[in-house]
Amino acid sequence: MKFVETRLPGAFIIELEPREDERGFFARTFCEWEFSAHELETRFVQCNLSLSRKKGTLRGLHFQQDPWAEVKLVRCVRGAIWDVIVDLRTDSATFGHHEAFELSAENRRALYVPRAFAHGFQTLTDNSEVFYQMGTRYVAEAAAGIRAEDPAMGIKWPMPVTEMSEKDRALPTLARVREQLFRDTPLQPVAEPAHPAGFKA
């Protein structure tokens, strides 16, 4: 695997290094030793798969609050997406900055998303499927987000939005999230749930 650090320290694009022959190819998508050598998370406790039927669907931008801040390893296994991350680390020189990457079944890239980053994507094709490996399980009480179309974010989504949940449309602006984070005030109550929760939308 090839680890390419992005402009946001700690976030990596991970490219496969396939070994090919007349049958096709073989490649590793995860290696505990290689991830550890780059000081990345090596324990993933939950895996999720999302399907978006329509091109232009926008999901996000999502994150979980401490103590449930989550690492994500994201790849598109069918179709293509425009994947966006936003640095929300309060001690970071790049707080509020974002980067975007195309992930597709064709380029087979993965995106390593550190803790305290918001994440979201827009589908570039119909029937896009995204596979997530998660360093922390989903905790509904810790779920939070930023409005993906907040003009202050300056994110250039590649196409008009065709589908978006009402929950995502109602997310707060970056300014509101910044205010809460630097006040050290939870955006929502955070508590240990009585049993494992379901999946995020």
In angstroms, rounded to a whole number, what is the distance separating the alpha carbons of residues 43 and 196?
A: 18
Catalytic annotation on 132?
yes
Among 62, 98, 112, 119, the active-site one is: 62
Kindly state the greatest CA–CA separation across the chain: 59
Residue 152 contacts by C-beta under 8 Å, 6 or more apart in sequence?
Answer: 173, 174, 175
The two three-digit tokens of residue 57, written as one number: 């669907």
In angstroms, rounded to a whole number, what is the distance separating the alpha carbons of residues 201 and 126?
A: 18
Q: Which residues pair with 100 in a beta bridge?
A: 84
In angstroms, rounded to a whole number, what is the distance separating the alpha carbons of residues 98 and 8?
A: 8
Q: Which residues pair with 51 in a beta bridge?
A: 129
In angstroms, rounded to a whole number, what is the distance separating the alpha carbons of residues 196 and 190?
A: 14
Among 98, 112, 119, 132, the active-site one is: 132
Backbone φ and ψ of 113, nearest 5°: -105, 115
The catalytic site residues sit at 62, 132
